[in-house]
Amino acid sequence: MEYWKIILFRIISAIIFSSLLTSIFSFFNLFQEKISVINIITVMGENSIQDIFIGPFILCLEIGVIIILLHRLVFILKKWGVIVYLEKSLSPITRILKINKDISFSLLIGVLLGISYGGALLKKDFQEKSNISKEDKKKSIYFLNLMHSIIEDTALVLLIGANIFIVVIGRLLFSISVLLMLNFYWAHSIQKNPTKSSN
């Protein structure tokens, strides 16, 4: 799967979603109040050059540690049988999108905590589970590109007065809608050319 397709997909999806929300809100005259980001800009401006260069390095270390802890957590949850119940929480979405339920937990982690963590667990699933098809891999990657880091992203946008319903439910509905359209396109492409392999 070409990385440029994923990057382009993410950029275009963000533009479409934001444009769609802007058009809807403008038409119905919703959420038209002005917000102030002066405090946020002030805080960002206080970062020193040292923080700018050291910050990303520390962030990478933190991500590495959390990924290792997540792997251990998955092992413990599997041993206790808890992971089955966590997978069921995402089963309605995976059923609609026709994604293998065996990667539900990794998707859930990605949706809640972010691509870095969910992506690491997905990669591990792809390597260890033989029943995950190319289509499952493609669908899960595209879905996680649209719907990820709900906890952190929501907290950040709420600081500038965003509506939590739009941020969470709106984003979820948009992500599911886009994936359903992609599923239809992929299925149609395979029917037209059965010998074509998934990229």
Note the pTM of the prediction, 2 decimals: 0.79
| Comparison of pLDDT for 39 and 118, the residue scoring more | 118
Across residues 174-185, what is the average pLDDT? 94
Does 67 score more than 80 pLDDT?
A: no
User: Which two structure tokens, joined as six digits, stand for 168?
Assistant: 């969470």
pLDDT of res. 194: 65
**Exposure string over 50-83, b if 16+ CB within 10 A, otherwise e:** eeeeeeeeeeeeeeeebbeebeeebeebeeeeeb
pLDDT of res. 60: 78
pLDDT of res. 184: 92
pLDDT band with cut points at 50, 70 and 90 for residue 34? confident
**% of the chain residues with pLDDT over 90:** 37
* pLDDT, averaged across the chain: 83
pLDDT of res. 43: 47
pLDDT band with cut points at 50, 70 and 90 for residue 35? low
Find where tokens 């998955």 sit.
74
d(CA 171, CA 158): 14
pLDDT of res. 82: 80
17's CB contacts (< 8 A; 6+ apart) are 171, 174
pLDDT band with cut points at 50, 70 and 90 for residue 161? confident
Across residues 138-154, what is the average pLDDT? 90
